[in-house]
Amino acid sequence: MRWHRLRRRWAGATDDSPVAKGEGFVTSGRRRSPGEEHKGLDAKLLAQFLRRWASVISLGAIGVGVLTLVVSLVITPIYEVSTSILVTGGGVSGTSRSSYDYLMASQQLTRTYAELLRKRPLLEEVIARLQLPTPPEKLFNRVKVQPVPQSQIIVISIRDANAESAATIINEIVTVLIEQNRELIATGSIPVGQGVLVVEPAAPSATPVSPSPLRNAVLAAVLSAFLITGAAYIKEALEDKVKSVEEAEATTGAAVLGVIGQVAGAGRPEGVASIAAGRSSAAYRLLQTRVEIAAGGDPAQALLLTSSGPLDGTSTTAASLAVALAQSGKRVILVDANPRRPALHALFHLSNSRGLTTALQESASAISYLTSTSVGDLWLVPSGPLPSRLTELLRAPRMAALIAEWKEQSDIVLLDTPALLAASDAALLAQVCDTALLVVRAETTGAESLKTAHDLLAQSKARVLGMVLNRSRSTRKAFTGEFYAASPALKSSPQALKLGEAPGASSTHVG
């Protein structure tokens, strides 16, 4: 029901979402209706769920199957032996009425003999003759007596670990019954001619009826696969974490502009330099292109980056995107607007003694707070020391004035801000920015938290361009027609047709 819950969230997406507008999605040159997309979304979520758990399900099923096979092979086999007897007598056939009476009497007699076969005196005699180490009650439970419907035949069977012993017991039961029947005839208790005949004597069976190792192993493997799948499904449904592009888009109705894998170099001494030269640089260059396309004819002069919760990778994403923009020839100013948890100065190996907080409390020119970095055309504004009244400073007109001045001195200003649900800072800063990006950490960010954060961001003056799925295990998804249809600006942009040609990027691999 995880995908059904996500489907409902998609149906309740914001009015700007493609589903809410009824625009559908474009795939292979044909526009799909919202109903078709719902079915496609369910199938994709199910397929991704099975891919995530395929190894656990398969290994668990194989393990249980092998264990069951071994146990079945070492368990003592059980054999079933049976015999058939025919009940004779019951009357003499005559007219049609007497024939009916004869048939009813014969069937009644058959049921009577079937009951006699399971009576205690008979079983005690069998135990005494064969010297069986078992009480009559246990033998009673082992012996199965079944009259064949519409006939005078009775099938007697027993199960035992020893096939020969089982055959001996069955044959002795029939022998005792015949002898007791003769005694009754001799005393005149029953008429002559009434009795039983052995149709098929019991013989030892060479094939055990249980266990069946192969059948047990297959059934155990199939059952364990279903149980593991169900447990995994319940686990994911309870966790409710966003794990894929489809889940993120279904939760918010916004497009995912980039998928970033595990970033090598983040947090290490070489910092951004390692990220810029690493394998993830292609993903950030592709993200840069998609951000520009999503902005359309309204360039993103002040772009705010935030997330729903802390430690989602917003700072690394902001720094890496800034590097990609600067390397493309744009003049970029990166602002660390998170004095509560400053990180950008460490990534660029710069001092944090002076920065945004000092600029907010002083009246000097905004340019004087820019610090050059090792990346050309990229300047950093560190967060500065944490003041006692940060919220008041961010709300003051000085903040808007600083951003306005920095926008005049650059092509784009990027703001790394705190998590939306952790503090009000990001919501305040969104009021003075043009656009915003929401960073989502795969398998960590909760769907409800993401939806709440997106709704808070959508209420600000900043236009939400989309999301970045960060630290994703699978970065192989190709963003082709489905990505462009997620934004009206992308549909009309001629650049969208060449999105896969972004420098250093692949149309089929991100990250």
Residues 412-458: tens digit of each pLDDT: 999 999 999 988 999 999 999 999 999 999 988 988 999 999 999 98
Cα 304 off chain centre by: 32
Q: Which amino acid is at 188?
A: G
Q: How far apart are CA 141 and CA 146, in angstroms?
A: 13
Spell out, as residue ranges, where the chain has pLDDT lower than 70: 1-41, 90-98, 263-279, 297-300, 474-511
Q: Which amino acid is at 133?
A: P
pLDDT of residue 35: 52
Q: Is the dihedral of CA 298, 302, 306, 311 positive or negative?
A: positive
SS (H, E, C) 236-276: HHHHCECCCHHHHHHHHCCCEEEECCCCCCCCCCCHHHHHH
Of the candidates 83, 173, 75, which has an alpha carbon nearest to the alpha carbon of residue 119? 173
Q: How far apart are CA 483 and CA 258, in angstroms?
A: 10
The answer to whether the CB of 204 falls within 8 A of the CB of 79 is: yes
Map residue 308 onto helix, strand or coil.
Answer: coil
Per DSSP bridges, beta strands 378-381 and 332-336 are parallel
Q: Is the dihedral of CA 293, 297, 299, 304 positive or negative?
A: negative
* DSSP H or E stretch at residue 127: helix 120-130
* Residue written as token pair 């640089």: 281
Q: How far apart are CA 460 and CA 190, in angstroms?
A: 102
pLDDT of residue 498: 38
pLDDT of residue 167: 93
| Crossing angle of the two packed helices 213-239 and 34-74, in degrees rounded to 10 | 140
Dihedral, CA atoms, 18, 21, 27, 32, nearest 10 degrees? Answer: 140
Any residues with CB less than 8 A from the CB of 138 and at least 6 apart, and which? none
pLDDT of residue 88: 87
**In 72-191, beta strands by DSSP E:** 79-88, 143-147, 153-160
Backbone angles phi, psi at 25, to 5 degrees: -125, 155
DSSP type of residue 495:
G
Q: How far apart are CA 81 and CA 171, in angstroms?
A: 10
Give counts: helices (H), strands (E), the chain.
Answer: 19, 14
Of the candidates 435, 318, 328, 327, which has an alpha carbon nearest to the alpha carbon of residue 382? 318
pLDDT of residue 257: 94
Give residue 501's region: left, alpha or beta (phi > 0; psi -120 to 50).
Answer: alpha
3-state helix, strand, coil in the chain (%, to 5): 50, 15, 35
The answer to whether the CB of 452 falls within 8 A of the CB of 259 is: no
